[in-house]
Amino acid sequence: MLTVVYEDRTCIAVRKPAGMPSQPDPSGDADALTALSARCGRPLYLVHRLDRVVGGILLFAKDAAAAARLSESMRERRVEKVYLCVCEGSLPPCGDMKDLLFHDKRKGKAFVVDRMRGGVKEASLSYRVLATREAEGKTLCLTEVTLHSGRFHQIRAQFSHRGTPLVGDGKYGSRVKGAVALYATRLTFPVEQGTVTVRDMPNTDTFPWSLFCEECDTI
């Protein structure tokens, strides 16, 4: 279920399938942290998280010192997290999204708000549209997103706020049935030898990724 895509002496990166929690949660379902720690025969440290509905690259440290170094790199923005998503509607070819996000823990959802207050954090990302298709009477855009902050449901909330929810994301306004079209496709982070970039791609046999097989193959 978890496929190793990179490993060295201090860390290990895996492909997490959509639907699996990154760490233990109230559902009690099998999670990536517990499963990989058991496979490795040692406790691992989760460096960052992916939403349960999001598949793609997830990074773990093998000891506390490595976890501290990678966490510091995250805070200093020396880790680059890039996602692929398919959104409904049209976007300009490229741009930035900067918002104030409120994490409503009772609803388990993030909302864009107009002023800073308790529970509100700044959220920033940049994007570029890779391809556009028409399907099921809708315009769909394959979009590459680079996160500049790591907020709860950030991509999902910011795209939804602009009237372009991610395909399959009913929680944020999509009326297309299916899995949420969001994938952690590339992660660049410092290691002992310098910097490494790990890449992985979604399964392009499934809708809506199947509409963009050619583009995904060349990314």
Shared domain for 103 and 51, answered yes or no, is: no
pLDDT at 218 over 80: no
Boundary-marking domain end, from 61, 76, 91 = 76
Catalytic residue (one of 51, 99, 104, 200)? 51
Shared domain for 69 and 109, answered yes or no, is: no
Shared domain for 113 and 215, answered yes or no, is: yes
Predicted TM-score (pTM) above 0.85: yes
pLDDT value, residue 136: 83
pLDDT value, residue 98: 97
Boundary-marking domain end, from 19, 52, 76 = 76
Boundary-marking domain end, from 23, 48, 76 = 76
pLDDT digit string, tens, across residues 128-149:
999 999 998 899 999 999 999 9
* Average confidence score pLDDT of the chain: 94
Residue 19 structural domain: 1-76
Shared domain for 84 and 187, answered yes or no, is: yes
pLDDT at 217 over 80: no
Shared domain for 85 and 17, answered yes or no, is: no
pLDDT value, residue 109: 94
* Residue range 211-215: mean pLDDT, rounded: 89
The CATH number for 17's domain is: 3.30.2350.10
pLDDT digit string, tens, across residues 23-61:
999 898 999 999 999 999 999 999 999 999 999 999 999
Shared domain for 85 and 185, answered yes or no, is: yes
Shared domain for 62 and 82, answered yes or no, is: no
The torsion angle over the Cα atoms of residues 70, 199, 90 and 214, rounded to 10 degrees, is 180
Shared domain for 101 and 197, answered yes or no, is: yes
Q: Is 51 a catalytic residue?
A: yes
Number of domains within the chain? 2
Shared domain for 58 and 84, answered yes or no, is: no
Shared domain for 89 and 160, answered yes or no, is: yes
Shared domain for 200 and 176, answered yes or no, is: yes
Shared domain for 92 and 58, answered yes or no, is: no
pLDDT at 219 over 80: no
CB neighbour list of residue 155: distance below 8 Å, 6 or more residues apart? 83, 85, 125, 145, 147, 166, 182
CA 126, CA 53: separation in Å to the nearest integer? 21
pLDDT value, residue 90: 94
